[in-house]
Each structure stands twice: as structure tokens, then as C-alpha cells.
Structure 1
């Protein structure tokens, strides 16, 4: 497939993890005529019972607080843009849903007309309009246009590095401050569902997301993919390798969300800062294979997983999906072994209840055989 210029793009998947791409009859990873093509993820909405505790962690993690009321905490990064996270007071900690950003106001009208929803003003006397939807798993998904945009804030500067025979730093030393990793922006979120294929099709057909990489269970490729890393379709302009990742699971819900920082030193020094304050590292530091990000995963005080990342891949719309087997060992190029905490495989009564429910649900894609394959993949 030709790119948007005169030179055919190189295949970023070739000889890395998937030299052959899709096989005959497999999903293309994109809808022919989506309702809209969202431009980015604007912010994520959470509920938590203790906003004071949530704010302390947010500041330690590297967010900037934009507003705080008794019932709501709004957080942003240093890059210009909307809020990155909105936390509402609620009876228990959990993920409410993502808010995507439409590039043009008519996108909202078209989305509302095609889905039977309404275009409404954003609540709280804020600028902008929103369409609120439910995805096939019951997740609250919104699309906004015209929301408040914050100006740029001072940022951590990437360190100047001496490498090989290139020594741009002479007569100076490196002393990165032991301080919070300053969040630049929201990067992506990951969601799990037993209705993987239905949800995947919905995000492609409704919001125009493109699949950057598919994963399938080892020796079960013929049954179709079980994970999809999806990016926004910006045509010839590159977007993050994934704005959303979706994977098959007996559970329905949030897995983690990821926030960009300046460089590896900002990530590592910020991790040391978090460790000194007693927070729990879920996994890291390492570099992923799919997406290439340098990562560091943490648990907040409510046990929700959040990620610092830097140096992620960016693809334009010309790149077709890669295909790779889903294995625990295939999660990272380097770094410590993946933890059970990150994989979510620690046994618990709640997990057993979710497995039982998924196996009994009529339209669930989780069968006993696939569940066993998932368990094997996460230990391989």
C-alpha cells in the first residue's frame, strides 16, 4: 500500500514480530466508512471516595491540578490541551470511561444522528459540547468538541546525552532532580472485556480507530485476535501507536492508563521519588515491544494502575496492522520479568466470580478452552 507521499513507507512490523501481516480472511483493522474519526483521547473520568488522597498521589505522580472542589478533582499535563484526568467523588474507586476529542463540531452532529444520542453542552458551565454513548461492554464513552484548552506549562527538559563519539556535553555533569516525573499528556488507556470482537468493531465503525497491532493466542490464530492496539486515524499525520488497547478477558473493566514524561531520566527519577514515598511499583522499568515505549507501572492508593512512559512509536494511517502471538515474554524487549500484579493473574474471590460469570454469559467470547489458552499465554 502506498503512503501519503511518493515513497512507499517501510513496514515497521517486518522482521520484528510479524513478517507476514494479516492472512486471507483476517480483520483489516479498520472500518471502510466510520461514523467519525476521533482525533485523540481528551481525558479519562474516574470516581474515588477520598479526593484528598487522590490529589496527594496525583501531585507525587507528576500531574498539575487545574481545579479542585469538594466533589471533583481535575488534572492536566504540561502540554497545551484539555484536562487529562477528571476524578469525581464516588462511593468506590473505579473507571467511569474515556472522553475522546472530535476534530470538528459537525462530527458531533453526525455521531448523534447515527447513534440516536444527543449533542449536549458540557456540564459545569464549561465550554464545549459532548455526545455520550455506551460501548458494547457498557463502558461510558463520550466525544467532545470545543472543550477548555490550557496553555503550555514549564516542562522537564530531556537531558543532553553523550553517546559513542558524540559528546555534546563537556565540562558539565548530569544530576537529574529527585522529583515527580512531570506529566506532559495523557497517552492511552487499556480496557478488558469478554465481548472483544463486538467492542473492537464498535470502536472502528463508530469512532474510526485503526489497529496498529493485533495479538492472538498461540496456536489459535484461526480463532481470531484477542488483543488490539488502536490509534486515531489522522490521515498522513502520525498518531500514538495506541490511544486505546482492548483485550479479551473474563473481566470487564479498566486495566491501566498511561501518561507521557520527558525522557528516561525523568521517568526513573520520578519512580525513585514515588518509591521513597511508599507507593507500589507494579512493573518496570523496561521497554515494550508493541509500541516501543519505555514504561514504569505504579499502583495508586486505590490500587488502580497507572503508567509513566516515554519514547513511544507513532504511525500514520498508511501503516497496516501487525500480527503477533500473545505471550507474557513478548511484552518487553528488556526489563525485569513481568509481574503477576501487572498481568492481573493474582487469584482472588472477585476474579473467580468474574470467570464464572463470563463462562455462563451467552454472548461472551470467553470459553473454557480460550480461558485455559489465556492462562497459558500469560505464563509463557
Structure 2
């Protein structure tokens, strides 16, 4: 799509976090009057058949065990925050949905009235169980107590060339499992991107930090959104939820903050020594700027260590960029097919045929062709 010269001249993002902003009439990236404004991503729930194996990987990845029963494993980071993961025993490994945190119980009740749902007791607070337009279960909670922080090492001091701060002291990064500090974000794929996007902006008050679009189909709107919590003047993670259009619906990966680059690198060495498989890394992203390292757990769920992510307040408008495999990182190794989910196989063929046959979604031959072109490696 050709960009009119006048539209290019009015770009408000030049020199800021994105080279491009929206064209006239494109998606604003936020709802005019959201039902509530979620303040955090609380935890993620999974079902896994082997909790002992799940716990071994969790410890190697850097989680601390918060609670363990024969049928339930709860994992946390070092920060004083809600536990990151709840894993329940079940026959087949699967993602069971995210839980977001509302500012107050009154917000949970307001959201329940909007959705025509009932509130439920949750610990010492209240929760409401919803379903997004993709069919993903989404819980929203408020009024829960946070456990106290755990001890962890301080970030290592670095010596920049012009202003060294570490004198007569060698640098020795611990060669051990990384210490997860907190849950950072969740990434989902959906065949109903526009409807799901509108739902998260309206129901939870999320706001878009960056949109990606298909170069040949920009007139159809964005195909990926990096959404953050709207905390007003308080800076929030560049994205709490990222979501993209694709032929499948469900979990893509989740990301967990560690203290610094050395924790990412040394934590990755520890995972490799334990026999786990790296998906992609180490590198630095463009949207969000995180230093990243991606791994598969024993059930092939993708998880990420990251450090040094961007923080935005509510004043920043969405950036716009073309979706491409080469546009995912500032530096690092070439992106892998495993990360992109484009490894050929019967499952991929089945998903493509199912998506094309469903007339209620946003997938057609033109979209699949543009997605394949954008994600070519």
C-alpha cells in the first residue's frame, strides 16, 4: 500500500519508540471507555501430566516453588507479586488460560455485570471467569494478598568505557539457574484477531504499544498487537499481552523477567547443561527491547527469560511496523523456524485447512500468503 506524502509528514513517532505511527483513520490502539483497567497479569494456568518433571524444569528455569500437592504445583518469582504459574495434573499438556489483576473488587464486580457473569470467591478476594472471542478462558481477580519478596542477587555493575564504576573488583556471574523475578507477558495466536483485540481493549482497558501489519495488506489493519496495562503516569511493561493473527488459536509463549544480561546468559548455560533445548537466543528484541532467550519445557511449551525491557506510561501512542521475521530482533542469531511455529508437519497442514474452512475467522488465502511471506527465513 502506497503511503501518501502528507501522511508520512505527519508521523508523530519519528525519533521515538517506532519509526512509523498510524495513518489517518487507522486503529487508535485503545478503547474510548473501557469497562475496567487491569493493573497486571497475575498468573498463568497449565495442565501437565507429570508434575515431578514440571517441577524439575521449573527449578532449572529459575522458579521457586510456592506450594506443592500431589495434583497442583504453584510457582513464584523473587518479587513480592502473585505466583507466576499454577500447574494442575491432567492427562494432556495444555494451556488453561491467564489471570489478570483488577485494581479493586469493585472493578471485578463491574466487569462481571458487563459480561453477565457471576463473581466467585478467590482466596481472600473475588474473581470473575470470562471467555474472550477466541474461546480463551480469562480470569480477572482482585483483593488477593501478595507473598513477601525472596532474597536474590543484585544486578552486576557494568563498566562503560567512559564512566567505570567497578574498580579493583573482578566480575564473576554466578553459573547457576537464573532467578525468575516475575511473570512479564503472555503471547497468544488467534484466528479472530480483530474481535479479540477489541475485547481486551474494552473489557480490560489494555492499550497498544506497537502494532505490526502485513506489508501487502495494511489496508486490512494490524495483524499483531503488543498491549500494556494502562497505569496512567506510572510506567508499565511495553507488553503484558501480545497477540497475533494466525491459523491456530492458543498459547505461543510466556516470558519471565530476570535481573540482568548475565542472568539470561548464565541461566541459559544451566538449562543447556541439564539437556533442555534452546528455541532462539540470545538476542535483543525491537518491540519491547528485551534481551531474550527462548526455551522449550519437557511438554514443548515455549518460555522466555528476559531482561532490560521497555517501560511506557499511558501518554505514548502506538507505533506501527511491518511484520517480518527479520524485524523481530536488533541483534542475535537468525530467528528459528521453531520460534516462528513454521516447521512443516501434519499439524501445520491440518491447522491451515481448518482455518481456511472456518468462515467465522479472519484467515483467507491472501492472509496466509502474506503471513508466509512475512515469516520467511
TM-score bucket of the superposed structures, by smaller chain: over 0.9
- Structure 1 counterpart of 2:368, from 353, 359, 371: 371
- Structure 2 counterpart of 1:275, from 272, 277, 288: 272
- Residue 158, structure 1, aligned to residue 155, structure 2: yes
Q: How many angstroms apart in 1 are the aligned matches of 2:42 and 2:20? A: 34
Describe the SS at the equivalent of 1:220: helix
- Residue 227, structure 1, aligned to residue 191, structure 2: no
- Structure 1 counterpart of 2:139, from 142, 158, 161: 142
Report how far residue 347 of structure 1 moved.
1.1
Q: How many angstroms apart in 1 are the aligned matches of 2:202 and 2:80? A: 29
CA-to-aligned-CA distance 1:286-320 (integer Å, 9 cap, x gap): 00000000000000000000000000001111110
CA-to-aligned-CA distance 1:306-348 (integer Å, 9 cap, x gap): 0000000011111100000000000000000000000000012
Q: How many angstroms apart in 2 are the aligned matches of 1:295 and 1:19? A: 22
Q: How many angstroms apart in 1 are the aligned matches of 2:234 and 2:199? A: 23
2:105 and 2:125 in contact (8 A); partners too: no
Alignment-derived partner of residue 167 in structure 2: 170
- Residue 304, structure 1, aligned to residue 317, structure 2: no
Alignment-derived partner of residue 184 in structure 1: 181
Report how far residue 91 of structure 1 moved.
1.1
The 5-angstrom pairing of residues 208-219 of structure 1 reads: 208-219=205-216
2:216 and 2:370 in contact (8 A); partners too: no
Residue segments in structure 2 that go unaligned for 5+ positions in a row: 1-10
1:17 and 1:324 in contact (8 A); partners too: no
Report how far residue 12 of structure 1 moved.
9.5
Alignment-derived partner of residue 106 in structure 2: 106
What TM-score do you get using the length of structure 1 for normalisation?
0.95
CA-to-aligned-CA distance 1:235-261 (integer Å, 9 cap, x gap): 111100000001000000100000000
Describe the SS at the equivalent of 2:215: coil
Q: How many angstroms apart in 2 are the aligned matches of 1:96 and 1:64? A: 21
- Structure 2 counterpart of 1:337, from 327, 330, 334: 334
Alignment-derived partner of residue 244 in structure 1: 241
Alignment-derived partner of residue 357 in structure 2: 360
- Structure 1 counterpart of 2:124, from 118, 121, 127: 127
Alignment-derived partner of residue 59 in structure 2: 59
1:17 and 1:323 in contact (8 A); partners too: no
Q: How many residues align?
A: 367
CA-to-aligned-CA distance 1:136-181 (integer Å, 9 cap, x gap): 0110100001223110111121111111132211111111111111
Residue segments in structure 1 that go unaligned for 5+ positions in a row: 1-10
Report how far residue 16 of structure 1 moved.
6.6
Q: How many angstroms apart in 2 are the aligned matches of 1:31 and 1:104? A: 20
Q: Please identify runs of 4+ aligned residues in structure 1 that moved more than 3 A.
A: 15-20
Q: How many angstroms apart in 2 are the aligned matches of 1:364 and 1:20? A: 28
CA-to-aligned-CA distance 1:204-248 (integer Å, 9 cap, x gap): 011100000000001221111000000001111110000000100
2:294 and 2:304 in contact (8 A); partners too: yes
Alignment-derived partner of residue 287 in structure 2: 290
